Amino acid sequence: MSDQSERRCVLITVTGKDSPGITAALTRIIADSGVDILDMEQVTIQELLSLSIVLDYGAGGDDGRPLLKDLLFAAKEMGLELDFHVLAHSGLAPPLRPHRWVLTLIAHDRLSSGAIAAVSRVLAESGYNIEKIQRLDQGRVRCLEMVVASDRPEGASLLKPALLPVGREFSVDIAVQPDNLFRRVKRLVVLDLDSTLIQTEVIDELGRRAGAAEAVARITAQAMEGHLDFPESLRERVALLRGLPVSVLEEVAQALPLTPGATKLIRTLKHLGYRIAIISGGFRYFSERVKERLDLDYAYANTLEIENGQLTGRVLDPIIDGERKAEILEEIARLEHLRLDQVIAVGDGANDLPMLSKAGLGIAFNAKASVREAAEHSLNQTRLDTILFLLGITQNDIAALEQEG
Question: Which DSSP string corresponds to 174-215?
Answer: EEEEE-SHHHH---EEEE-TBTTTBSS-HHHHHHHHTT-HHH
pLDDT digits (tens, 9 = 90+) for 319-338: 999 999 999 999 999 999 99
Could you say which of 173, 179, 194, 321 is catalytic? Answer: 194
pLDDT of residue 97: 59
pLDDT of residue 2: 42
Residues 6+ apart with CB under 8 A from 376: 156, 160, 356, 357, 362
Cα(321)–Cα(301) distance, integer angstroms: 9
Q: Judge whether 4-86 and 188-404 match in fold.
A: no
Fold topology of 99-179: Alpha-Beta Plaits (3.30.70)
> For residue 290, which of 246, 258, 324, 322 has the smallest C-alpha distance?
258
pLDDT of residue 1: 38
> For residue 301, which of 203, 374, 188, 187 has the smallest C-alpha distance?
203
Fold topology of 188-404: Rossmann fold (3.40.50)
Q: Does residue 297 have an active-site annotation?
A: no
Region 98-110: mean pLDDT is: 92
Query: Does residue 147 have a pLDDT over 60?
Result: yes
Cα(252)–Cα(180) distance, integer angstroms: 43
Could you say which of 18, 173, 179, 192 is catalytic? Answer: 192
Residues 6+ apart with CB under 8 A from 152: 99, 127, 128, 158
Q: What percent of the chain has pLDDT over 70?
A: 94
Cα(340)–Cα(356) distance, integer angstroms: 11
pLDDT digits (tens, 9 = 90+) for 211-258: 999 999 899 888 877 788 899 999 999 999 999 999 999 999 999 999
Query: Is the sign of the CA dihedral 293, 298, 303, 309 positive or negative?
Result: positive
Query: Does residue 345 have a pLDDT over 80?
Result: yes
Query: Does residue 340 have a pLDDT over 90?
Result: yes
* Helix (DSSP H) and strand (DSSP E) numbers for the chain: 16, 16
CB of 154 closer than 8 Å to CB of 240: no
pLDDT of residue 93: 54
Cα(180)–Cα(323) distance, integer angstroms: 28
pLDDT digits (tens, 9 = 90+) for 48-83: 989 999 998 775 555 668 899 999 999 999 999 999
**Number of C-alpha atoms within 13 angstroms, CB side, residue 356?**
22
Cα(32)–Cα(298) distance, integer angstroms: 57
pLDDT of residue 173: 97
The one-letter amino acid at 221: A
Of 94-108, 223-237, 385-399, which range is least confident? Answer: 94-108
Query: Does residue 3 have a pLDDT over 90?
Result: no
* Three-class DSSP category at 241: coil
CB of 345 closer than 8 Å to CB of 356: yes
Q: What percent of the chain has pLDDT over 90?
A: 72
Cα(88)–Cα(110) distance, integer angstroms: 40
Of 86-95, 176-185, 243-252, which range is least confident? Answer: 86-95
Could you tell me the pLDDT band of residue 318, with boundaries at 50, 70 and 90? very high
pLDDT digits (tens, 9 = 90+) for 307-316: 999 999 999 9
**Number of C-alpha atoms within 13 angstroms, CB side, residue 210?**
27
Residues in the chain, total: 405
Residue 360 CA to its chain's centroid (Å): 11
What CATH class does 4-86 carry? alpha beta
Beta-sheet pairing, 304-307 with 275-283: unpaired
Radius of gyration of the chain (CA): 27
To the nearest whole number, what is the mean pLDDT of the chain? 91
pLDDT of residue 152: 79
Spans of all domains in the chain: 4-86, 99-179, 188-404
CB of 359 closer than 8 Å to CB of 329: yes
Q: Does residue 192 have an active-site annotation?
A: yes
